[in-house]
Amino acid sequence: MYIAIEGIDTAGKSTQITQLSKQFPDAIITKEPGATEVGHKIRNIVLSAKTNSKKAEFLLFLADRAEHIKEIIEPNVGKMIISDRSAVSGVAYALTQGEIAKEDLVKLNNFATNNNYPQKVFLLKLTKEELEYRLSKKELDGIELRGSEYLLKIQNAIIEAAKLLNIELIEIDATQKIEVITQKILININN
């Protein structure tokens, strides 16, 4: 089974992936962007926030996604794959930019992924207050520097992106205790 943990920065994706890796010790743990050699370079470019064109940023994400599918997802079909982010995030970020038509976003992602998407996506949702508290406790990267309003738009866009890509999305309140969140994910994986 191929699943993805989604959420805006500081939602607890890494924590949940660590928890899930204990439950599925043989799982393939991966991430988007940056799981491949090429993807790592692309991730650094995107996080540096140096692209002036939002279309260029989107195309970088697509290049990473195509590489990720080819190198990690396709060779491991039939195994448990747990991904930190997925195409859903890429579409969500592009939706907030508003420069690419929704139908084009879907077509381009279908092309980049060979229509290979997670069976289930778990969205760890944050409130504005909790997000701002968590951001205040860390050094911010280029995306986080765009602010809480921007990140909350992304969170809402993740929901829309999952619908556009026809992927099952399970929303989980990320302000709950770590163990409670993990249990909710496990219950939904097994259903």
- Here the CATH number for the domain that contains residue 41 is 3.40.50.300
3-state secondary structure 155-182: HHHHHHHHHHCCCEEEEEECCCCHHHHH
Percent of the chain with pLDDT over 70: 98
pLDDT less than 70: residues of the chain: 142, 144
Domain of residue 14, residue span: 2-189
Looking at the DSSP bridge assignments, the partners of residue 124 are 172
What is the structure's pLDDT at 57? 83
* Domain count of the fold of the chain: 1
CB-facing half-sphere around the CA of 178: CA atoms within 13 A: 9
What is the structure's pLDDT at 142? 67
CA-wise closest residue to 151 among 54, 8, 12: 8
Is the backbone peptide bond immediately before 118 cis, with ω within 30 degrees of 0? Answer: no
Q: pTM for this one?
A: 0.91
Number of helices and strands in the chain (H, E): 8, 5
